[in-house]
Structure 1
Amino acid sequence: MARRVPREPEPGRYAVSYGEVELLRDLDRPTGWMLTCDGVPQSYVDLEDPLYLDFEYVRLMADVIDLLPEGPLDAVHVGGGACTIPRYVAASRPGSRQIVAERDAALVQLVRDQLRLKSVPRLKVRIEDGRAAIGGIWDDSADLVVLDAFTGAVMPIELATVEYLGDIARVLRHRGTLLVNMADGKGLAFARRFAATVCETFRHVVLLAEPGVMRGRRFGNLILAASRVELPVADLTRRAAGGLTQARCVHGEDLTRFVAGAAPIRDGQAVLAPVPPPEVFGS
């Protein structure tokens, strides 16, 4: 029987449940595709090489995953996009079982139709928001929870509270790891409060970011990793410093100083997530 040739994605703009996305071909990589949402870069995937990661902050997330104990992972992803990290986990940890929670049904269908989502083994996608998805998962069932959910370029506050992180802790096994992508800019007020929130729930926390972002000089992504058990801080520090952007790894007393007494975020509080300035994405 002849091998079925996957359908070529079609670049263009597509209406989804919560706005509009655009699918863009990477002119430098024949099988590379970028998904943007309302003009904001959201995901990059290489359909033939899921281990290729184009965004620097995603590489930092992969560094954390690579340093977890060897073998397949039971992983839960809150926020889907084009499922870059689930594809990476499936390729780097064969046999992993993964659940992706994505509230935008039309986006999920687009990624299935255009970006070969069905080819990712042992991956289930649930059309749910992040609160409902975690609430429906069994206790002590995940080795890894990845929180990477944005509405455009803004993180939903309801996914950044002590109460929600407590529910994530319930889902994680004792040695499990929480991995979060957040974004902030000048002053890092939100990043400090969210770091305080994570520290209230997990004993061991590290923060990873490019130096300019870590100092609050420009808007960008910051990665938090957290666990009940010690994290491989020395290896994470070495990997972060050895990357193209020579990112920093902040932990221990340095993280305490970074938080600087900021209050954890709780359900019902009026907290504004940071919005990137227009020049960040060239609009």
Structure 2
Amino acid sequence: MPTSLATAELEVRDTGILLRLDGTESSWIDLRDPAHLDFEYQQQMNAVVDALRPAPAPLRAVHLGGAACALARAWDALRPGSTQLAVEIDEVLARRVRQWFDLPRSPRLRIRVADAAQAAPGLRLGGWDVVVRDVFARGRVPASCRDEAFVGACRRALAPGGLYLANTACLPRAEAGADLAAVGRVFGGGALVIADAASARGRRPGNLVVVAGAEPFTPRQREEVDRAVRRLPLPARTWSVDDPALPRA
């Protein structure tokens, strides 16, 4: 079925519904268990937040890129009292996911129709515990959502102790490298990347999850994050954002 910017398909899979946009897997919603996250990168993001801001503490979270809002739905279930905002550029998709899925209602989860690159500078300064960037167009992160201006706007939106989490593709290597370089310039070399070795080195397509803090991570925090992602069903590890094995700009 057409949305504003893509063609959406819904497929029943196991206990949930898989949403594809233009043939690309975009979101998976478990109809029985809202806390269940199927996509590896979302499991990794949740593990990071659990390690540094343990559940069930509520979150103030903004999701730049909404799709079916699977991560926001899970955090609402796991962290009662959370208030979240999803920014989705596709107006029809934003309306339909409310119809298709049991998403939390406002003010627990608000969905704003806007371009993430334009919305980021307007986010409430210091108002968010977590800023998630999960923006893709035809399988790539738009250049406007991975430059220094965008990352800087996300950092300014973080409250003390806040976390910036970004999902990026490991290929093309130059684009991924530019993304990581922008994070390094804004947050410093203390930022982390979560990935398995094959994806980190570009030997197979996969996701890289970038993790940065409003303040530099302590050695103990870095160790806690690494331990958390190694315990996942499909283990990953942490890398420093400037590790030479990672993509370079």
Flag whether TM exceeds 0.5 (same fold).
Answer: yes
1:119, distance to aligned residue in structure 2 (A) = 5.0
Bigger Rg over Cα:
1
Taking structure 1 as the reference length, the TM-score comes to: 0.80
Q: 1:259 to 1:41 in 2, by over 3 A?
A: closer
Question: Which residue among 45, 51, 75 is the counterpart of 1:67?
Answer: 51
Q: 1:209 to 1:120 in 2, by over 3 A?
A: farther
Aligned residues: 243
1:59, distance to aligned residue in structure 2 (A) = 0.8
Q: In 2, are the aligned partners of 1:162 and 1:200 still within 8 Å (CA)?
A: yes
Percent identical among aligned pairs is 34
1:121, distance to aligned residue in structure 2 (A) = 6.3
| Cα-Cα RMSD | 1.8
Q: In 2, are the aligned partners of 1:98 and 1:122 still within 8 Å (CA)?
A: yes
Residue identity matched to 2:95 = Q
Residue identity matched to 2:240 = H
List alignment gaps of at least 5 residues for structure 2.
none
Aligned residue in 2 for 1:55: 39
- Report 1:29-48 matches (<5 A): 29=15, 32-48=16-32
| Cα distance in 2 between the residues matched to 1:199 and 1:74 | 24
| Cα distance in 2 between the residues matched to 1:22 and 1:213 | 27
| Cα distance in 2 between the residues matched to 1:207 and 1:195 | 9
Residue identity matched to 1:85 = L
1:81, distance to aligned residue in structure 2 (A) = 0.7
| Cα distance in 2 between the residues matched to 1:113 and 1:256 | 44
| Cα distance in 2 between the residues matched to 1:78 and 1:25 | 26
Residue identity matched to 2:182 = T
CA offsets 1:144-163 (integer angstroms, 9 cap, x no match): 10000111311111000001
Question: Which residue among 180, 187, 197 is the counterpart of 1:202?
Answer: 187
Residue identity matched to 2:151 = L
- Report 1:183-202 matches (<5 A): 183-185=169-171, 188-202=173-187
CA offsets 1:192-248 (integer angstroms, 9 cap, x no match): 221111011113311001221112101111100001324321122112222233212
CA offsets 1:71-100 (integer angstroms, 9 cap, x no match): 211111100111011011111111111111
Tell me whether 1:23 sits opposite 2:7 in the alignment.
no
CA offsets 1:163-188 (integer angstroms, 9 cap, x no match): 111111111113211000001236x3
Residue identity matched to 1:15 = P
1:120, distance to aligned residue in structure 2 (A) = 7.6
Residue identity matched to 1:208 = I
Corresponding residue SS for 1:75: strand
Residue identity matched to 2:209 = I
| Cα distance in 1 between the residues matched to 2:149 and 2:105 | 35
Taking structure 2 as the reference length, the TM-score comes to: 0.91
List alignment gaps of at least 5 residues for structure 1.
1-13, 264-283
Aligned residue in 2 for 1:237: 226
Question: Which residue among 116, 126, 143 is the counterpart of 1:140?
Answer: 126
Aligned residue in 2 for 1:251: 240
